[in-house]
Amino acid sequence: MKIYKAYAKVNIFLKITGKREQYHEIISRFMKVENLYDELSFIEKEKLDANEFQIIGDFSCQTEQNTIYKAYIALKEATDSKKLEQLMQTHAIKVEKKIPAFAGLGGGSSDAATYLKMCNEVLELGLSDTELAMIGLKVGADVPFFIYGYKSANVSGIGEIVEEFEEELLDIETYTPEVKISTPKVYTIYREDFYHPIDGVKTQELKEISSENALQKMSPEEANDLFEPALKGYQELKKYHKAGYHFSGSGSSFFKIKENKE
């Protein structure tokens, strides 16, 4: 039974560049967190139930709301693959959850991307990363980054433009308080009270800065346009924010570069 790793990510910076219909366009540096990942595998079902898509794991949501199930539906619609349906009739998808939910670490998106890649490999569907990324985008804006598997990337548009940024992977330490944050709520607060998109010049500067320099030069508020809206919507976050830590995505996780203890 092969085990696939679905890695977490942090947003080194996340800035709003504008709006596209109901979505916000961004420029963000995504970086893989190598020491934090979920583990996914296919296992044979104990009881065959042709009509049930089965996920084994510690999830609080209904199966239909799970990003893995949404990825299955998107892949089925894109490929019309009978092999895919047969696989999920005979096998469950098992997930060992390590990435906290509602945390700004991309756990759901990473699981969805990893599931798509697993199906593509096991069933020999022959889809390119670009094709998988476009399918994944129907599940969530962060999914394409995880499809490509880059260590670090500039992500723009609504998440569909993923450009590899070549740099050394930082040793990231994360912690996630028990605060469940709604991304739509944080974006609504941003749009109503904090909306101030950056211009093209600033966007280009950010695309070229190394992640380590960005974290050194920018405060948490400067680095992430969603930090102050999250604090406004979830005031209990303030007591968890420690000096030296930045804020990932729309929360609630904080992160910093691990200090070398020599």
**How much of the chain exceeds pLDDT 90, in percent?**
82
Q: In degrees to the nearest 10, what's the CA dihedral of 105, 108, 111, 112?
A: -130
Q: What is the pTM of this model?
A: 0.93
pLDDT at 262 over 50: no
Question: What digits encode the pLDDT tens for the residues 151-194?
Answer: 999 999 988 899 999 999 999 999 999 998 998 999 999 999 99
Give the integer Cα–Cα distance in Å for 90 and 42: 10
Give the integer Cα–Cα distance in Å for 133 and 158: 13
Amino acid at 56: I
pLDDT at 204 over 90: yes
Give the integer Cα–Cα distance in Å for 157 and 101: 24
Burial class (CB in 10 A: 0-12, 13-18, 19+), 220: middle
Q: Residue 140: which residues within 8 A CB-CB, separation 6 or more? A: 67, 70, 108, 109, 112, 159
Position 25 scores a pLDDT of 94
38, 111, 142, 225: which one is catalytic? Answer: 142
Work out the number of other CB atoms within 10 angstroms of the CB of residue 160: 15
Band of pLDDT at residue 34, cut at 50, 70 and 90: very high
Question: What digits encode the pLDDT tens for the residues 113-126?
Answer: 999 999 999 999 99
pLDDT averaged over the chain? 93
Q: Which domains does the chain have, with CATH numbers?
A: 4-11+35-158 (3.30.230.10)
Position 55 scores a pLDDT of 93
199 included as an active-site residue: no
Band of pLDDT at residue 134, cut at 50, 70 and 90: very high
142 included as an active-site residue: yes
Position 186 scores a pLDDT of 94
In whole angstroms, how far apart are CA 180 and each of 11, 110, 176, 233?
Answer: 18, 18, 10, 11
9, 15, 32, 256: which one is catalytic? Answer: 9
Q: Of 8, 68, 11, 22, nearest to 191 (Cα)?
A: 22
Structure tokens at 124: 């020999």
